[in-house]
Amino acid sequence: MNTITDRELKSLRKAQEQFMPNEVIIQRQKWVGDQEFVPDQVGTTICRITSGWGRWAVVADRYQGVTPYTITVPWDTDVQPGDGLIDAYGRLFQVRDMRSPTDYITAKQLLAELVTDG
């Protein structure tokens, strides 16, 4: 089995981030008071936003009216299903799921839907 060194992995991660031209704000629902969830900004990150057909189309076919996107973020980004991502144009995406390898992870691919179009 071929392995890569920590130095090579770090280099791959850095190179991949150069292809992430967008930036988003990450929002997570926060419990406030007795019965209310409100969006809470938990950070920002660079990313690449692409229309999400391909494999995501099979998942998206289960939801009517979903505009699917694949959003790629750095490997160590704190993001999870249910989070909202707001881009520079004011579009809000909701993360439905994520694909991320467990070995030699260089990025996370988020399967998201467009909720509001700016």
What is the set of domains in the chain, with CATH numbers?
6-117 (2.40.10.270)
Rounded to two decimals, what is the model's pTM? 0.81
Higher pLDDT, 64 or 16: 16
Instruction: Supply 78's token pair.
Output: 């704190």
Q: What is the pairing mode between strands 68-74 and 84-86?
A: unpaired
User: Quick check: helix, strand or coil at residue 65?
Assistant: coil
pLDDT for position 2: 74
What does the chain come to in residues? Answer: 118
pLDDT for position 25: 97
Pick from 107, 80, 99: which is nearest to 17 by CA? 107
Q: What is the mean pLDDT of residues 31-60?
A: 76
pLDDT for position 56: 46
Higher pLDDT, 118 or 21: 21
pLDDT for position 100: 72
User: Quick check: helix, strand or coil at residue 28?
Assistant: strand
Q: What is the mean pLDDT of residues 5-28?
A: 94
Q: List pLDDT tens digits, range 60-115.
A: 555 556 788 999 999 999 999 999 999 999 999 999 998 877 788 999 999 999 99
Pick from 71, 64, 108, 66: which is nearest to 86 by CA? 71
Residue 37: pLDDT band with limits 50, 70, 90: confident
pLDDT for position 117: 83
